[in-house]
Structure 1
Amino acid sequence: MRQARKESRESEKRLAEALLKANEELRAAAVERERAEEEYKTILRTAIDGFWLADTQGHFLDVNDAYCRLMGYSREELLGMRIQDVEAMETPEETARHIRRIMETGSDRFETRHRRKDGTIVDIEVSINHLEGDSGRLFVFLRDITERKRAEQEIQQLNADLARRAAELALSNRELEGFSYSVAHDLRAPLRSIDGFSQAVLEDYGDKLDELGKDYLQRLRAASQRMGQLIDDVLNLARLTRIEMRLETVDLSAMAQEIATNLRKTQPEREVELVIAPGLTVTGDSRLLRMALAHLLGNAWKFTGEHPRARIEFGVVEHEGKPAYFVRDDGAGFDMAYVGKLFAPFQRLHAMEEFPGTGVGLATVQRIIQRHGGHVWAEGAIEKGATFYFTL
């Protein structure tokens, strides 16, 4: 009997301990749940983006402060409303079908528009989840994208304006090109006549002219030929902006060596030291780069022509962290006070009698380098030579 009572007391004690432990666990679980709920409310209350908790009929079960501020409604007002009351793009029937699809797929992300309390419309990005096992609730996060949509529309409008202006510019360029060729053709015809008849007078009536008369006719011929060359240079300069670029690997060293060889053939008697750095390769349009390099090396050859011995160098230096290629000579040079005129078309710093040319070469170089996204500049001093740099 005593043993039975003892066992009963021990059983009751174990039961009491178990109940006490279960009670403590329940209280701990309740505290944890309250803490989790408080964290949930804090997160939603302080979130920048809007939040809903809604049932599958679209009724709002909870909303956060951010969505209330965005829409202009109080929390109490929204809790008495449905999704269909704020949706501005879908009909109520379409919204109901959309909710059913989300229940089947589990989630969706899309853009829509909501109507504020004051009737204005706001663009919204929606991220919605229907959690499995919680069939009666939809968890929805919403972001105001009105400014983004406005910016996108402005960009689209700007792109459309740019496309229209580009088309207008292309048409203007074609018209200008046609006009230029027409004018060039009309100018060449009288120039050819002037040159041809001047030559005929010299050949047929040369014995009847004194030396002064012959000199006048020679000057007339030279001026007409120079004008023809100038017309060709102007057309070529204009054409540079329309030539389609074909990018490839270009060996500038080999190109410079070939140009230098051709220059030597024009005046084999000259004593010119040509120094070309090896292995200089770039990515660019080989036709245009050859034209630019030919102008720069040709100028160096021309402006060292008055010196009995000359040195021309093609190489590379570092400029602002990038390679800058250069053509350097020890020829006539120029006054740095006039460096701003060097690359302007038809600007010459030397008299035609000293060094022939039309004044278009360096302008051509500048346009070619600019088309390659680079920059060209020069340094020099009178009778101490010049250095022309370019980047690509």
Structure 2
Amino acid sequence: MEALRNLITTNEQWLMQRVLGYAKLHGYTAYTSTLVEAWRASIAGLSAPIIEALESEECLRPITADVDYVSDPVALFGVKEAGKHRKRGVSLPLFLGLMKHYRKGYIDLLMKGGFSLADTQDFRERLDNFFDRIEVGFSAEWMRVDQVEQIRDLQQANLRITNEKNKFLTIFESLPNPVLFVDGEGKVVNLNRAAARLFYGQDASELHYYGEEARPSPPPSLAAEIAAFAVAADITTGFEKEITAAGRKAQCIILMQRMLDVSGKYQGTVVILNDVSHLKELEGEIEALNTHLADRAFQLEQANQELEAFNYTVSHDLRSPLTGISGYCQLLLGPCSSRIDTECRDYIGEIFKTCTRMNQFISQMLDFSRLGKCELKRELADLSLIARSIAGSLRMNDMEREVEFRIQEDVRGEGDPGLLRAVLENLMGNAWKFTAGKDRAVIEFGAGEAEGRRFCYVRDNGAGFEPEAASLLFVPFQRLHGAHEFRGFGIGLASVERIIQRHGGEVWAEGAIDQGATIFFTIPNLSFSEGGAPASDGRAPLA
């Protein structure tokens, strides 16, 4: 029996095609489901009790006059099938006729199984007994039910079918996409509310569901495509078209799918539309924005070119007279100083200092303008090492000051080493400058993490600033302290912000008057030793 069971379970697709072929040949598909899946399910539902029955010698004995259909599982299967098929409206002759072709399909499979003659005859007898018992059980159950009960069963079945139809009709009507069903004669047999609204300017799509008079021709805007698809060989097709109907235009993506019955016969076309008018409007807006951005980019490029021209003018035309003035000042303060009184020499000295500061300002302004154009050379930079180097340089420039530097070890990040050095030079230089009036100055560089974000910082205990003015620190040429208090041009922190932003990071500040300031910044792939803290270099007492 194992061989026959394996033959049946591995050939259900073949069985489905075989039985379906007999059903088509003898006209049964006109009265049964047109879905291939329904036929496949019926084969699976029949094969399971056949396999179970093959294992039972008791169930496959020849039919006798005193067979007990209630205790005989095969006959009982026929009884249950009778109840289900009767409620579906299947007649007894239709069922018995169709079962003949099911039986023939299984016997055909047996004959191609390659079994010995003796096994073939044994298996054939078992299959015949199985189908005989089903037919007897089915017929007995059918005859047991009187006409009144049959009518009641059919009414209940009709109610279920109506409920199912209404359920799917509700789904169909609720679809946001317009959908049409066009039959084989080219008439619209169904369309949902979205389609009625699109093509006919009304919501009363239900008018097209009932009666021959409610079968309109396809909408003129799609009639040619539907007719051409009906005679084509394609199963499906799709295209985009502007639909003009009911006084409006809509840009639609249209999908057409052939409806085929179980025999492969063409039954009509499903037409599904997707109104993409809004998307087309958005595409137009995006195109307009792209055009605007292109214009702005062109204007920006022109502005950059003008800025470069201005930089050239500043670096050459403006510096040349400054150089001349500085040179004459040096002559007046040098070889010619004996012919000038002390007050005049002081005036000339101030002129020379002003020229020097102006030259420094021009240099910083040019450096700031180049920050947005220089190419980044990304690599892993040791920020702790850079900070120590800057601390050493600051000490060398003013050996008399006592400042304690606290620098955290093993702080590393990804970026351009030269630009990151410029960031720390500006921040630590500012800290050095704004702690000038402190007897116990402390400048600290470290790293930390808060709310999942890693950052570096430079902190000092210097002059600080008003917390409300923190956002002004990074505005170019904006100074929170007067020039008489601390020298500078207001470009340093603006340069820091531009460099950090070019690295994809952020920069912000915290502080208070006479309580110091802390500048924070982020850079990619920042790492530091967990639990590490800035270490003092011991050059000044703790604040």
Tell me which interval the TM-score lies in, with the shorter structure as reference length: 0.7 to 0.9
Question: Residue 61 of structure 1 is aligned with which of 189, 210, 227?
Answer: 189
1:177, CA displacement in angstroms? 1.9
Aligned ranges 1:5-20 → 2 under 5 Å: 15=139, 17-18=141-142
1:99, CA displacement in angstroms? 5.4
What does residue 236 of structure 1 align with?
A: 367
Residue 114 of structure 1 aligns with an amino acid whose one-letter code is I
What does residue 115 of structure 1 align with?
A: 244
What does residue 183 of structure 1 align with?
A: 314
1:202, CA displacement in angstroms? 1.9
Alpha-carbon displacement from aligned partner over 1:219-248 (angstroms, at most 9, x marks no partner): 111111111111121222222233344555
Change over 3 Å in CA distance of 1:225–1:100 after alignment to 2: farther
Kept in 2: contact 1:369–1:376 (CA 8 A):
no
Question: Residue 130 of structure 1 is aligned with which of 241, 245, 258?
Answer: 258
Residue 325 of structure 2 aligns with an amino acid whose one-letter code is I
Kept in 2: contact 1:376–1:391 (CA 8 A):
no
Structure 2 distance, partners of 1:134, 1:22, is: 38
Alpha-carbon displacement from aligned partner over 1:79-99 (angstroms, at most 9, x marks no partner): 42225x123xxx93x665555
Matched, 1:357 2:492: no
1:32, CA displacement in angstroms? 5.2
Residue 236 of structure 2 aligns with an amino acid whose one-letter code is S
Residue 50 of structure 1 aligns with an amino acid whose one-letter code is P
Change over 3 Å in CA distance of 1:375–1:51 after alignment to 2: same
What does residue 507 of structure 2 align with?
A: 375
Structure 1 distance, partners of 2:269, 2:397, is: 86
What does residue 224 of structure 1 align with?
A: 355
Structure 2 distance, partners of 1:107, 1:219, is: 88
Structure 2 distance, partners of 1:362, 1:175, is: 25
Change over 3 Å in CA distance of 1:57–1:159 after alignment to 2: farther
What does residue 42 of structure 1 align with?
A: 170
1:193, CA displacement in angstroms? 0.2
Question: Residue 80 of structure 1 is aligned with which of 216, 237, 240?
Answer: 216
Greater C-alpha radius of gyration: 2
Number of equivalent positions: 375
Moved more, 169-178 or 344-353: 344-353
Kept in 1: contact 2:257–2:270 (CA 8 A):
yes
Change over 3 Å in CA distance of 1:168–1:337 after alignment to 2: closer
1:49, CA displacement in angstroms? 2.0
Alpha-carbon displacement from aligned partner over 1:188-210 (angstroms, at most 9, x marks no partner): 01100000111112222122223
Structure 2 distance, partners of 1:353, 1:259, is: 26
SS in 2 for 1:61: strand
1:320, CA displacement in angstroms? 5.3
SS in 2 for 1:346: coil
Change over 3 Å in CA distance of 1:355–1:239 after alignment to 2: same
SS in 1 for 2:267: coil
What does residue 154 of structure 1 align with?
A: 285
Matched residues, percent identical? 35
Aligned ranges 1:193-204 → 2 under 5 Å: 193-204=324-335
Change over 3 Å in CA distance of 1:22–1:67 after alignment to 2: farther
Kept in 1: contact 2:258–2:268 (CA 8 A):
yes
What does residue 143 of structure 1 align with?
A: 274
Matched, 1:206 2:337: yes
1:361, CA displacement in angstroms? 1.0
Residue 67 of structure 1 aligns with an amino acid whose one-letter code is A
What is the TM-score of this pair, normalised by structure 1? 0.81
Kept in 2: contact 1:270–1:309 (CA 8 A):
no
Structure 1 distance, partners of 2:421, 2:507, is: 17
Moved more, 128-137 or 322-331: 128-137
Q: Which has the higher strand share?
A: 1
Structure 2 distance, partners of 1:114, 1:210, is: 95
* Unpaired runs of at least 5, structure 2: 1-64, 67-134, 209-213, 524-543
Structure 1 distance, partners of 2:330, 2:137, is: 136
Structure 2 distance, partners of 1:350, 1:114, is: 68
What is the TM-score of this pair, normalised by structure 2? 0.61
Kept in 2: contact 1:229–1:358 (CA 8 A):
no
Moved more, 257-266 or 360-369: 257-266
Alpha-carbon displacement from aligned partner over 1:311-335 (angstroms, at most 9, x marks no partner): 1111234455523432111233345
Alpha-carbon displacement from aligned partner over 1:145-200 (angstroms, at most 9, x marks no partner): 22222122212211221122112211222122212322332110110000011111
1:269, CA displacement in angstroms? 4.9
Structure 2 distance, partners of 1:35, 1:278, is: 77
Structure 1 distance, partners of 2:332, 2:137, is: 141
Structure 2 distance, partners of 1:287, 1:21, is: 97
Moved more, 128-137 or 188-197: 128-137
Kept in 2: contact 1:314–1:327 (CA 8 A):
yes
Alpha-carbon displacement from aligned partner over 1:287-319 (angstroms, at most 9, x marks no partner): 433222210011112222344442111123445
Kept in 2: contact 1:63–1:79 (CA 8 A):
no
1:270, CA displacement in angstroms? 3.8
Change over 3 Å in CA distance of 1:311–1:115 after alignment to 2: same
Kept in 2: contact 1:125–1:143 (CA 8 A):
yes
Kept in 1: contact 2:256–2:269 (CA 8 A):
yes
Residue 107 of structure 1 aligns with an amino acid whose one-letter code is T
Residue 86 of structure 1 aligns with an amino acid whose one-letter code is S
